[in-house]
Amino acid sequence: METPLSPLDFARRARRLYADREAVVDGGRRFTYREFFERCDRWSAALQGLGVQPGDRVATIAPNTHSHLEAFYAVPQIGAVIVPINFRLTAADFAYILNHSGARIACVHADYLDAVDSIRAQVPGVEHFVALSGEKAGWTSYEALLAASTPEFTAAEISETDMIALNYTSGTTANPKGVMVSHRNTAFNIMGHLMHTHLTSADRYLWVLPMFHANGWTFVWTVTAVGGRHVCIPKADPRLIFEAIRKEGCTLLCAAPTVLIGMANAPEEVRRDVPRGVRVITAGAPPAAATIERMEGELGWEITHVYGLTEVSPIVTISESRPEHAQLSARERAVIKARQGVEYLANAEVRVVDDDGKEVAKDGASMGEIIIRGNAVMKGYYNDPAATAKAIRNGWFYSGDAAVVHPDGYIEIRDRWKDIIISGGENISSVEVEGVLLRHPAVQESAVVGLPHEKWGETPQAFIVLRPGATATPEELRLFCREHLAHFKVPHGFEFIAELPKTATGKIQKYVLRGGRANIVAQ
């Protein structure tokens, strides 16, 4: 009598209970759940007509739109795997991911058709290019495919260990890694959200967090599970966010701390008449306590900090409020809320261990690495057994995040063992940026580290050793990087130094660069 754990089972229930409720708002378009699922079914049938089989990859490059949301149902219900790609990446990144994932279909929003056209010759495995919006020669119209299709499709037999999504994350290497996420992984994450964030059919969820980001932290499925309303906006602009909250009565949103900073600093005329009581879930980088205090104090909103990684589907801890916190000052509560918190129920077991694998003392000072095991942990990295073996050892996933545990059991990240830079909720590989800089003819050596930034949390700072007799300016290097990197990966500052600090074995001492240059103000 067992039923496979899958978001598709939550969708089955939603079809029966919420057919006449409004499901999606996207600009001028509004769909009930009946209309939304009919579109999903038509897309499933159309994909099967294009030859998509169970296990095939269907890639998407799109902002938060109704058509992007539809793919998270249409693709898995025929047993295929969705590959949501970060639209902020470069065309070369698109090519790498399309090839590495083995995607047969590329579904692309109008804003990115030209970028994908520029790399078509490099992705021979992609058999069909579908324009989710807009029109362009050589592209098949998504809406035309739906109009020509019927809602009759062949549902696949799903095992809960089947892959539902292949999510690419930069990690600490130059090439992004494909995280294999199963139906079971996402189902447990959804149930964790429902238990901890208390969503109901009365909620109107505002799509600020990109859907490509770890499947929108699984809220692409969570909101539907309770018959809530998805409200789509094209980008995380404070003006659009506040306007949507006022117009649609949005009650809940997810956002990286940098988005919260932008909202907190929006002009008064943008923030006017915003309702109180909006719930905000934040993650992607540790939020500043001051930001939490300001959002709650000035707007009357409720900020909840959660923690996770794409590899754990993606949320495993929450800084939950406790009755005793009510006795604290607003500032003291904000400090606690800025911590990563405690385990999600049923999702995973989370520990902080020292080099010997022993749990650190709960003293708020002893530092160790966060390790995770349980229902949320990925199947592994796609086509990368070496990286999988390095990340998952003795049954535990090693996060690479250094943290302490407070006496109340709340985990707090203090640093990262890895040199990954998290800027505005996006991962930046220092190795990748350094590799680009080394292609510049004037650069002999480079080192990139993350330095604190008021808006983005941290931003990359490059330290450059020039070749003898060569010259270069910061602006020249910035433009060079912009030609070869997604813009959010470009260093905000460039400093020329005579030599990089190194160990006796020649390894660059990045902690020296961070500590010695922490007073640099990012440009």
Average pLDDT over residues 154-183: 88
In contact, 275 and 301? CB cutoff 8 Å: no
Helices (H) and strands (E) in the chain, counts: 18, 27
Mean pLDDT, rounded, of the chain: 92
DSSP string, 192-219: HHHHHH---TT-EEEE-S-TTTHHHHTH
Token pair 């062949």: residue: 154
- The ranges assigned to domains in the chain are 7-13+32-185, 342-416, 421-516
The confidence score (pLDDT) of residue 418 equals: 64
Strands 163-169, 177-182: pairing kind:
antiparallel
CA atoms within 13 A on the CB side of 326: 2
CA 108 → CA 9, 83, 140, 153, 226, distances in Å?
A: 27, 12, 10, 23, 29
What are the C-alpha distances in Å from 446 to residues 18, 461, 482, 487? Answer: 56, 10, 16, 19
| Residue from 388, 390, 379, 445 nearest 417 by CA | 390
pLDDT digits (tens, 9 = 90+) for 281-323: 999 776 767 788 889 999 999 999 999 999 999 999 999 999 9
Highest mean pLDDT pick, 279-283, 332-336, 437-441, 510-514: 279-283
Question: Is the predicted pLDDT of residue 498 greater than 80, yes or no?
Answer: yes
Which residues, at least 6 apart from 473, have a Cβ–Cβ distance to it below 8 Å?
Answer: none
* Rounded average pLDDT over 71-75: 98
Given this model, what pLDDT does residue 174 score?
58
What CATH class has 7-13+32-185? alpha beta
Q: What is the DSSP letter of 459?
A: E
Q: How large is the average pLDDT for residues 15-27? A: 98
DSSP state of 502: B
Least confident of 148-157, 168-177, 404-413: 168-177
**Considering only CA atoms, which of 264, 224, 214, 212 is closest in space to residue 241?**
264
Q: Can you say whether residue 94 is alpha, beta or left, with left for phi > 0 and alpha for psi between -120 and 50 degrees?
A: alpha
In 365-475, where do the E strands start and end? Answer: 368-373, 380-381, 392-393, 396-405, 411-416, 421-423, 426-428, 443-453, 457-466
Strands (E), 137-239: 140-141, 163-169, 177-182, 204-207, 229-232
Q: What is the topology classification, in CATH, of domain 421-516?
A: GMP Synthetase; Chain A, domain 3 (3.30.300)
Which CA distances in Å does 51 have to 37, 57, 164, 376? 21, 11, 18, 31
User: What's the confidence (pLDDT) of residue 521?
Assistant: 34
Q: What angle do CA 61, 64, 68 make, to 5 degrees?
A: 55
pLDDT in tens, 326-353: 999 998 998 899 899 999 998 999 999 9
Determine the pLDDT at residue 308: 95
Confidence check: pLDDT of 65 > 80: yes
How is residue 249 written in tokens?
A: 């009565």
Taking CA atoms, 49 is separated from 44, 145, 169, in Å, by 9, 10, 31
- Say yes or no: domain 342-416 is CATH 2.30.38.10: yes
- At 512 the pLDDT is 87
Interval 20-32 mean pLDDT: 97
Distance of CA 155 to the CA centre of its chain: 29
Mean pLDDT on 66-83 = 98
